[in-house]
């Protein structure tokens, strides 16, 4: 495994000499929360679930990106891109120089447990749909649940992907997932290989030294999701939206002193308001974390997220993950 931890912090070439960093958003559409992934909780069409995200949540995130001149990466589930309304927005997002990246075809919770052939089908089918919409090659990937393995890496490298952004090297996160898996009987909830919980926190080129026996070329990059140094607590927006953004301020002061490359991850549900769900179901039936976030005052939440855009933008030149990966490859 080739690490980049001893190399200089990535710098942009603009006059302020800011670090490169990235914002990304996982467009999961709350489907699993509202239907348990099986469509059984509500008599709702799947297209309606995804349209709520594409017509209400994502425009709010895009407004913030436009306001602060941020170009972000959107991890899209392929089957949602079959919806005409969703396709139009995906094309608009791409035309405005944001990145459209692959989040699998169906967002199976057990994606990492599929056979290698099934993994390739999930990636390839979504890739074809997204590239046809945007007219651009898809070069980035994120797996459901922040879980990766050697088969996923092998498929991505063989298909010529530039990077993966799935790995969340956090022991804390996986312990919580194990607790939820047991206490809530979520059999399809994937747990990351515990060895990878202590993987590098800086971008690195994975090879057979750590993940299986396959040989991986050094053009392919893993860009880990950020964690708090030392304790490896997840530094993702979902956590702070659930607990408290004041907690995030303390964490970010530690992050600023570290050499981690900023890869800050949002989810579309963090831009949801309780009024958005009148069409698709009762939010009282949603997962605890989702329910608590949605019930918080929207104006207060958007104010806090705007502060994130401002604070991180002061310290970083925020670019799509594909550009971040390219800047590393070209050093």
Reading the chain (331 residues) residue by residue, the pLDDT tens digits are 333 433 434 444 454 578 899 999 999 876 666 555 454 555 455 557 788 899 999 999 999 999 999 999 999 999 999 999 999 999 999 999 999 999 999 999 889 989 999 999 999 999 999 999 999 999 999 999 888 988 999 999 999 999 999 999 987 777 666 666 566 545 556 767 777 888 889 998 887 545 533 345 568 999 999 999 988 989 999 888 888 788 888 899 898 888 889 999 999 989 988 787 766 555 555 666 677 777 788 888 899 999 999 999 999 999 999 999 999 877 7
pLDDT of residue 215: 43
Contact 282, 295 (CB under 8 A): no
pLDDT of residue 15: 44
pLDDT of residue 37: 46
pLDDT of residue 241: 87
Report pTM.
0.87
* C-alpha neighbours within 13 Å on the C-beta side of residue 170: 24
Give me the sign of the Cα torsion angle 185, 39, 80, 286: negative
Tokens of 188: 């399809």
Q: Under DSSP, is residue 310 helix (H, G, I), strand (E, B) or coil?
A: helix
pLDDT of residue 142: 98
Alpha helices in the chain (DSSP H): 31-35, 46-52, 58-67, 84-95, 116-134, 150-158, 171-183, 237-242, 245-257, 288-295, 298-315, 321-329
d(CA 69, CA 310): 11
Burial label, 267 (beta-carbon count in 10 A; 0-12, 13-18, 19+): buried
Tokens of 199: 């993987």
pLDDT of residue 151: 92
Token look-up 């979902």 returns 238
Domain positions in the chain: 2-329
CATH architecture of 2-329: Alpha-Beta Barrel (3.20)
pLDDT of residue 264: 97
């Amino acid at each position: 495994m080739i690490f980049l931890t001893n190399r200089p912090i990535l710098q942009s070439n603009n006059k302020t000499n800011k670090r490169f960093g990235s914002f990304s958003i996982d467009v999961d559409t709350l489907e699993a929360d509202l239907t348990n992934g099986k469509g059984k909780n509500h008599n709702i069409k799947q297209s309606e679930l995804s349209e709520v995200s594409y017509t209400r949540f994502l425009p709010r995130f895009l407004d913030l990106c436009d306001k602060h001149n941020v170009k972000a990466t959107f991890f899209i589930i392929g089957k949602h891109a079959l919806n005409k309304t969703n396709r139009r927005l995906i094309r608009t997002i791409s035309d405005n120089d944001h990145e459209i990246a692959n989040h699998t075809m169906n967002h199976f919770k057990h994606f990492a447990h599929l056979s290698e052939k099934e993994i390739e089908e999930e990636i390839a089918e979504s890739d074809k749909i997204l590239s046809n919409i945007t007219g651009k090659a898809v070069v980035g990937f994120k797996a459901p649940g922040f879980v990766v393995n050697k088969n996923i890496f092998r498929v991505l490298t063989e298909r010529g992907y530039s990077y993966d952004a799935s790995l969340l090297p956090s022991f804390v996160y996986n312990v919580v997932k194990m607790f939820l898996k047991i206490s809530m009987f979520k059999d399809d909830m994937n747990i990351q290989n515990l060895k990878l919980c202590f993987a590098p926190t800086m971008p690195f080129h994975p090879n057979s030294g750590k993940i299986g026996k396959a040989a991986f070329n050094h053009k392919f990059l893993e860009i880990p999701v950020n964690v708090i140094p030392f304790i490896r607590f997840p530094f993702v927006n979902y956590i702070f939206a659930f607990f408290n953004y004041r907690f995030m301020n303390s964490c970010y002061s530690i992050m600023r002193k570290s050499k981690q490359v900023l890869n800050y991850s949002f989810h579309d549900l963090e831009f949801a308001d309780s009024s958005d769900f009148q069409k698709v179901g009762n939010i009282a039936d949603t997962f605890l974390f989702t329910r608590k976030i949605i019930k918080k005052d929207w104006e207060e939440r958007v104010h806090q997220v705007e502060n994130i855009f401002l604070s991180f933008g002061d310290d970083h030149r925020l670019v799509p993950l594909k550009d971040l990966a390219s800047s590393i490859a070209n050093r």
